[in-house]
Amino acid sequence: EVADQLGLSSYTEPLMATADYVAPTSDENVTVTDTEFSEVPVRLYLPRKGSDGLRRAVVYFHGGGWSLGHAGMKSYDHLNRWTANRLNAVVVSVSYRLAPKYHFPVQFEDVYSVTKFFLQSSVLSQYEVDPDRVCVAGDSAGGNLAAALLKDPEVKPKLKAQALLYPALQTLDLNLPSYQENENRFFLPKWLMVKFWSQYFTSDSSLRKAMASNTHVPVESSHLLQFVNWSNLLPEEMKKDHVYASSTYGSSELARKYPGFLDPRAAPLLASDAQLRGLPLTYILTCEYDVLRDDGVMYAQRLRVVGVPVTHDHAKDTFHGAMAFVLDPAALAVGQRLMNRYIEWLNENL
């Protein structure tokens, strides 16, 4: 963080250098290859076992604050290999371009291009995929990208389901109860999430500073706050002793320079009820010890209100990113339990 502040290196560089990458390796159950869809790198998992008919498919977007991660990271390779084998499904895991080199909407455009390419009838036919049984899924920033895709009228009717694992869904209120309670929590403290959010839109530190103090929303965008008003959207047990306070409005200039943080493609909770209505079956996983907990809880509530079928699993005993730690013996039991639940939901609903 000090090196980042001094401009010596990006905060993400050492984290990417230590990421546990694995080469595409096939086994007796799944054929794994690295390729490109619409000029975007993807890792493709094709089950070897036979099928009585067309297969299901999952298009998966990894997490990492839009700045970290790769389809070839060991934890994602494990998850998607396991998904393909357990469901006898085709899995497309996407390596979209990352910040700080690339800013919004590049990451969104990459996953959008891959999804549209895969949903072509000729491509689905090539991989023997049922066009009525395709799901988009992702964790954290990847959950954000999966949810954002479903706002597009070209994509929405073609997908049967979305699965969002501890997703980041809103940019307006970075002082939610979950942000306050987990400000210094292991793995994703508030300062790091603020950095990820701001860096998604710009390398200009002025936006990060405004987001850190929750003074980045201009008064002319105050109408959007209704979509993230936790006093109306959170259950009583999550409000606890927190008191909802009106926002302190910020610079209109920041919003003009970096309008992405007010765009529903970056913050899916900012979509109107009309845009949310008609979304497909949805699975949302939230974790108690997570600054992003309330994003997922509020999204589940908003979807229910407009009639979208939602399954919301809240893990009270774990933290953000728990599924990525399934290969760590200390976190294996919890991570495996969450992964099993995710796979069970896909098996029942896809």
| 73-121 pLDDT per residue, tens | 999 999 999 999 999 999 999 999 999 999 999 999 999 999 999 999 9
pLDDT for res 329: 65
Rounded to whole angstroms, the Cα distance separating 180 from 290 reads 10
Tell me, what CATH number does 325's domain have? 3.40.50.1820
Q: With DSSP H G I counted as helix, E B as strand and the rest as coil, what are the percentages for the chain, rounded to 5?
A: 45, 20, 40
Catalytic residue among 70, 103, 216, 320, which? 320
Cα-based torsion angle of the residue sequence 263, 269, 275, 278 in order, rounded to the nearest 10 degrees: 140
pLDDT for res 127: 98
- Model-level pTM? 0.94
Listed residue (79, 94, 96, 90) closest to 45, CA to CA: 90
> Which is it for strands 55-61 and 129-139: parallel, antiparallel or unpaired?
parallel
Residue count of the chain: 350
Residue 350 CA from chain centroid, whole number: 19
Rounded to whole angstroms, the Cα distance separating 339 from 305 reads 27
Rounded to whole angstroms, the Cα distance separating 82 from 93 reads 13
pLDDT for res 277: 94
Say whether 133 sits in a helix, a strand or coil: strand
Sign of torsion over alpha carbons 259, 261, 267, 273: negative
pLDDT for res 186: 80
306 neighbors 277 (Cβ within 8 angstroms): yes
Contact residues for 221 (Cβ-Cβ < 8 A; gap 6+): 255, 262
Question: What DSSP line would sit under 6-42, residue for residue?
Answer: TTSS-THHHHHHT--B------SSEEEEEEEETTEEE
Beta bridge partners of 73: 21
82 neighbors 339 (Cβ within 8 angstroms): yes
Instruction: Report which residue type is found at 6.
Output: L
- The secondary structure of residue 187, as a DSSP letter, is S
Cis previous bond, 177, omega within 30: no
Rounded to whole angstroms, the Cα distance separating 285 from 342 reads 8
Residue 47: C-alpha distances to residues 127, 170, 243 (Å): 10, 36, 51
pLDDT for res 333: 84
Catalytic residue among 67, 140, 178, 198, which? 140
**At which residue do the structure tokens 């390596």 appear?**
95
Answer yes or no: 122 catalytic.
no
Residues of the chain with pLDDT under 70: 1-19, 326-331
pLDDT for res 157: 87
Helix (H) or strand (E) holding 206: helix 205-212
Answer yes or no: 294 catalytic.
no
Rounded to whole angstroms, the Cα distance separating 182 from 290 reads 6
pLDDT for res 18: 47
Catalytic residue among 77, 110, 263, 290, which? 290
**At which residue do the structure tokens 């079956």 appear?**
281
pLDDT for res 146: 98
Answer yes or no: 78 catalytic.
no
Number of domains in the chain: 1
The per-residue b/e assignment along 116-146, b for 16 or more CB within 10 angstroms, e otherwise, is bbbbeeeebeeeebbeebbbbbbbbbbbbbb
pLDDT for res 86: 97
Domain limits for position 86? 1-349
Question: What DSSP line would sit under 39-58, residue for residue?
Answer: TEEEEEEEE-S--SSPEEEE
pLDDT for res 198: 98
**At which residue do the structure tokens 């036979």 appear?**
50
